[in-house]
Structure 1
Amino acid sequence: MEGNEILGIFLIGLLVILLPAIGLYGMFKKAGVAPWAAFVPFYNTWVMVELAGMKKYWFFLQFLPIVGWFISIAIIIDFVKAYGKFKFWEHALTVLASPLYFIYLGFNKTDKYLGAEAITAHKKSTTREWVDAAIFAIVAAGLIRMFVFEAYVIPTPSMERSLLVNDFLFVSKTAYGTRVPNTPLAFPLVHHTLPIVKTKSYLEWIKLDYRRWFAKPVKRNDVVVFNLPVGDTVINDEERYGSKVTYYDALRSEFNGNRTALWDAYGDIIITRPVDKRENFIKRAVAVAGDTLEIRNGVVFINGKPGETPPHSETNYVLKTKGQPLDYAAIEEEYGIRADVGEVRDLGNNLYEIFLTKEQVAVFSKLSFVETLTPVNYAYEKDTRGIGGIDVYPNDSVYCKWTIDNYGPLFIPKRGATIQLTVENYSRYERVIRTYEHNDFEMKDGKFYVNGTATDKYTFKLDYYWLMGDNRHNSLDSRYWGFVPEDHVVGKASLIFFSWNKGPRWNRIFRSIK
């Protein structure tokens, strides 16, 4: 953990003990101690520990990273008990609204300081003890998940073999600075949908603008978890659509751009989501803000130089055997290549599509049953679906005749960078300017208008990133939906804490992610 991350954790703890300071002033005064102590960080909790009759070691436990936040909350809860506040709703107000609740306690004429003896004399029922413990655990886990780290499981083979299906990860939310939630009113420990009832897990009564505490940029080649940028509008049918076939894909490919027809067909299940509740994806940042990206015959170039190849990345080849069928069980046992996750499939006539790492290619080329092993490389063809032209970002087969293997060059927008607007690059930056940076942007008769003003230039307000899967031919990534704005970045994948494939993958547990 780096210095600014430690500082961020410390400052969050500082907020916990300073937010109720105004009310504490009145409460300390009622208890007969110096009221100014309410405004002195940590000395105020020392006073609370003494007034509540707690053991002194509770004060020192506050300085433990992250855990200290919840120790401070526990001290505050015990402190209000010295004012006769033992009911569940009173403790809930203490946790959720202490700045306001403490002002009420500190300055009304009814509530008095009763002393630590009142705490000792009060007995809680066993049920209440368990309820309090459960609520505290949920609040603590929710805050950690919101601000510090989150568990994530790899659902698809798009990052094979750097990350495998059913790898369980810890994602650090402090690595790039802690992002303040856009929708703070949300059910804890779930993402956008409540299980079983299948309704939204959040309320949009309060919407906060993008803020990130102690922000740091994403570094090139980091493995990043982010909110899917094109997940702002969703056809809420995970079996057929959802994040697999996005709203924009369906609009373009199934309805030929006819928005009215799409809404007539699916309007009752189309939903919109705020940034922090869009689907979580995980990919590698192959290019960062200010880079120029190009892909030539499957090789990524950054600023004109070959990019770094992930050590365990794989791509697909066409394998031809010498007459005999491929033994799926044998190649899974020997090389870990699995047909059940799409790493090999039969094309007929002794041909197989197979996904291999660079190291595996060297091995398979020498196997006795292999006649040929040919890499797959997609060149532009007008009518080819799914890999080029209108089916890759920016869905422009006039000025961007690109494929997933031959792409760009494309400048990655950078905060403060200014570009010349042209007819050729309009489609590349239209969504950035209009959707991500909230401008009215249009092109009329070859001229450009931003918020009603004619201009031929635009200066970006945010940093953007280009995210791709290590499994380059089996990954829905930036090549299909474009740039990832900085406000969509969730965190950095840091550690595999568990992995499963018909049993634990022991060799992957507690492995750092590179």
Structure 2
Amino acid sequence: MSLNEFLWIFYINLFLVLLPAIGLYGMFKKAGVEGWKAFVPFYNVWIMVELAGMKRYWFYLQFIPIVGWFITIAILIDFVKTFGKFSFWEHALTVLVPILYFSYIGYNSIDKYLGAESVHKHKKSTIREWVDAAIFAIVAAGLIRMFVFEAYVIPTPSMERSLLVNDFLFVSKTAYGTRVPNTPLAFPLVHHTFPGIKTKSYLEWIKLPYRRWFAKPVKRNDVVVFNLPVGDTVINDEVNFGSKVTYYDAIQMAGGDRNRIWNDYGDIIITRPVDKRENFIKRAVAVAGDTLEIKNGVVYINGKVNDIPKGVQTNYYLRTKGQPLDYTMLEEEYGIRESLREVSQAPGLGNNVYEIFLTQEQLDIFRKLPYVDSIAPFVSTYSANGPTMGGDVFPNDTAYCKWTLDNFGPLYIPKKGATVQLTPEIYSRYERVIRTYEHNDFEMKDGKFILNGQPATSYTFKMSYYWLMGDNRHNSLDSRYWGFVPEDHVVGKASLIFFSWDGGPRWKRIFRSIK
């Protein structure tokens, strides 16, 4: 843990123990303790532990990172019990507004210090026991979800065949270091919207800067969950827009007319902080400092062919020797179903052609089948007439980047501390990084660059970035469409499939590790 990370934890602990100090002054005096002790950080907690008759180890537990915050809150609750405060609402006030509630207890003429014995004598009702247990379970589950691991379900086929639709998996939030929430005031166990009522589940009264405790870099070919970088602004209509057609896609489809989009959808356009943007899952094919290039669908990293994970599948045109394909047999033997369709004619292949998604292992098998005449990869290219297909890709710059899904780059993936020379050729590639993700005023005028009001010829990156792609290479909305994933958008590493469903349990996939 870095010094900055340690200081952030310490400052939050300090805030918790000093927040009720004004009220504690009066409460300590009622308990026969000198009031000045209320203003001494952590010593005031020691006094509360003693007055409440708690074991002394509770004082030391509050110094455990993150968990200690909730230990401090538990100590505050036990302390107010010594003043006869046992109801749910009295404890809620202790947690939510201690500066006001403790001042009320400390300075009114009614409440008296009853001592630790009053706490031990008090018996909760059965209902209260259940309520407290439920609240504890929600808080504990919320903490685990926020800082340790979270369960996800795969909603789309973009990662097939590595991950299938309705695979349920655990994502480790400690694999790359625990990310401190940008918006800590949020309803537990809900991402960004309350189900059914389409209302924000979080408040932006407190916004914390990006911090990651015990930070570790993403490794190449890891399967990563991250917040969608272009999800900062959303047309809040999940049927037609949302993360499927992003706000920036809509502007591009409108010919760049931003005013038109706001006139049509301004009432439902919203912005989201980083940690509340839509969660996506892809594979990190390139990491910070790499140079990525795709040639005819093959990914090259730093000039070498990237290792191809076993589950990666690509689009092919398969021509038979005249007989139709047996769909039932292909599904039973190879699990090929939704990725198969017949096309009337494919370029250069003629008739009896099918479009099919295959892994490398399946491709080797299909090439040997007696009824298969030929298999040709689907490859999008750029010609004098424009892209054959798949040309609407990042950074949408036809002057300098005539790229497609299958022929892309070379492109340098920014690394924290690395410097690039600013040229018109690379402006579109790093403009969003410099302006949006790293919060600078940045523009190009007449081939010259203005950074935060000053002329600039180079830029040094403040964060590291990653390049995420789906294993279903021709059916994935990924970095090829919207660019880099900043390190502060990384949620965690997909680690284990704990359940899988397709009309019934997929028993062979349960408790399978993710590679």
TM over 0.5: yes
Q: CA deviation at 1:187?
A: 1.9
Give the AA of the match of 1:365. Answer: R
Contact 1:233 1:271 in 2 (8 A): yes
Q: What is the RMSD computed on CA atoms of the aligned residues?
A: 3.5
What residue is the counterpart of 1:152 in the other structure? 152
Equivalent residue for 1:192? 192
Alpha-carbon distance in structure 1 between the residues aligned to 2:433 and 2:197: 35
1:229-248 aligned at under 5 Å gives the runs 229-248=229-248
Alignment of structure 1 residues 205-224 onto 2, 5 Å: 205-224=205-224
Query: Which amino acid in structure 2 is aligned with residue 224 of structure 1?
Result: V
2:290 paired with 1:291: yes
Distance 1:74 1:321, change over 3 A: farther
Contact preservation (8 Å) 1:20, 1:98: no
2:342 corresponds to 1:346: yes
Structure 2 equivalent of residue 387 of structure 1: 390
The residue number in structure 2 matching 1:480 is 481
Q: Is the 8 A contact 1:13 1:68 kept in 2?
A: no
- Quote the sequence identity (%): 73
Give the counterpart letter for 2:148 in structure 1: V
1:331 aligned onto 2:334: no
Aligned to 2:445: 444
C-alpha spacing 1:118/1:165, structure 2 compared with 1 (3 Å): same
Residue 453 of structure 1 aligns with which residue?
A: 454
Shift of 1:215: 2.2
Q: Structure 2 matches for 1:253-268, cutoff 5 A?
A: 253=253, 255-268=254-267
CA displacement 1:402-423 (0-9 Å, x = unmatched): 1111111111111221111111
User: Closer, same or farther in 2 for the Cα pair 1:208/1:75, shift >3 Å?
Assistant: closer
The separation in 1 between residues aligned to 2:65 and 2:455, in whole angstroms, is 52
Deviations 1:303-344 (A, max 9, x none): 1222221122111111122333222222222112222xxx22
| Residue 377 (1) aligns with residue 369 (2) | no
Q: Which amino acid in 2 is paired with 1:337?
A: I
Structure-2 separation of matches of 1:103 and 1:507: 60
Cα separation, 2, equivalents of 1:108 and 1:214: 46
Structure 1 match to 2:367: 365
Task: Report the alpha carbon displacement of residue 475 of structure 1 after superposing the two structures with TM.
Answer: 1.0
Q: Distance in 2 between matches of 1:192 and 1:473?
A: 29
1:494 alignment counterpart = 495
Which range moves more in the overlay, 296-305 or 417-426? Answer: 296-305
Indicate the SS of the match to 1:175.
coil
Stretch moving more, 444-453 or 328-337 = 328-337
Pair 1:475–1:83, CA change in 2 (3 A): same
How far the C-alpha of 1:134 sits from its partner, in A, is 2.1
CA offset digits 1:434-457 (Å, max 9, x no partner): 111112211111111112211211
> Hey, what does 2:404 align to over in structure 1?
403
2: distance between equivalents of 1:14 and 1:398?
50
Question: CA 1:426–1:57 in 2, change beyond 3 Å: closer, same or farther?
Answer: closer
With over 3 angstroms needed to count, the CA separation of the structure-2 counterparts of 1:449 and 1:66, relative to structure 1, is closer
* 1-structure distance, mates of 2:89, 2:10: 23
1:427 Cα offset (Å): 0.8
Report how far residue 65 of structure 1 moved.
10
> 1:142 — aligned with what?
142
Amino acid at match of 1:489: V
TM-score, normalising length from structure 1? 0.86
Cα displacement (A) at 1:468: 0.8
Secondary structure of the structure 1 residue equivalent to 2:354: strand
The SS at the match of 2:199 is coil
Structure 2 residue 21 is the aligned partner of structure 1 residue 20: no
SS in structure 2 opposite 1:425? helix
Deviates more, 1:109-118 or 1:177-186: 109-118
In structure 2, relative to structure 1, the CA distance for the partners of 1:22 and 1:444 (3 Å cut) is: closer
Unaligned runs of 5+ in 1: none
Give the TM-score of the pair, scaled to structure 2: 0.86
Distance 1:317 1:356, change over 3 A: same
Match of residue 168 from structure 1: 168
Equivalences for residues 419-434 of structure 1 within 5 A: 419-434=420-435
**Where do residues 88-107 of structure 1 align in structure 2 (5 Å cutoff)?**
88-96=88-96
Task: Identify if the C-alpha distance between structure 1 residues 505 and 74 changes in structure 2 by more than 3 Å, giving closer, same or farther.
Answer: farther
Which sits farther off after the overlay, 121-130 or 141-150?
Answer: 121-130
Name the SS of the counterpart of 2:476 in structure 1.
coil
State the Cα distance separating 1:464 from its structure 2 match.
Answer: 1.0
Alpha-carbon offset, residue 33 of structure 1: 9.0
CA apart distance, 1:205: 2.4
Give, in whole Å, the separation in 1 of the partners of 2:14 and 2:206.
24
Runs of 5+ consecutive residues of structure 2 not aligned to the other structure? 345-350
Instruction: Tell me by how many angstroms 1:69 deviates.
Output: 7.4
CA deviations 1:343-382 (Å, max 9, x no partner) are: 2222234321111111111222222332222222222144
